[in-house]
Amino acid sequence: MSSGDNQGNERDMRQRIVSLMQSIGQESSKPLPADELQKLKTAANRLDQMLKASGDADQQLLTNAVGRLDRLLADIRTGKDVTSNLKRRQERQKEDGNPG
């Protein structure tokens, strides 16, 4: 998943939340009490933080994968046998329950 896809997903999620909040706001003709408004703002901020953290985690996973691939390609260029390292990694992932 590219960072553009990530940003697009976040943008879509935010737009859906805004739409829902607007539709809820249209149902009520009276203004929200200050404490309710503050709760909504706090929840929206927390959601933004969660979305950013999720995107950052995905980005970190991709960065780690790129680093591993770079090392693997460098080893291949220098003529090293990389098959044993790949097999060990696959075995570790199976033991940890992580997908290959």
Query: What DSSP string runs through the chain?
Result: --HHHHHHHHHHHHHHHHHHHHHHHHH--SPPPHHHHHHHHHHHHHHHHHHHHHHHHHHHHHHHHHHHHHHHHHHHHTT---HHHHHHHHHHHHHHT---
Structural domain boundaries, residue 49: 3-26+33-96
- Tell whether the model's pLDDT for residue 100 goes beyond 60: no
- Tell whether the model's pLDDT for residue 42 goes beyond 70: yes
Mean pLDDT of the chain: 82
At 27 the pLDDT is 60
- Distances in whole angstroms, Cα of residue 16 to Cα of each of 24, 57, 59, 93: 12, 22, 23, 36
- Tell whether the model's pLDDT for residue 56 goes beyond 80: yes
How many structural domains is the chain composed of? 1
Determine the distance from the C-alpha atom of residue 68 to the mean position of all C-alpha atoms in its chain, rounded to a whole number.
Answer: 20
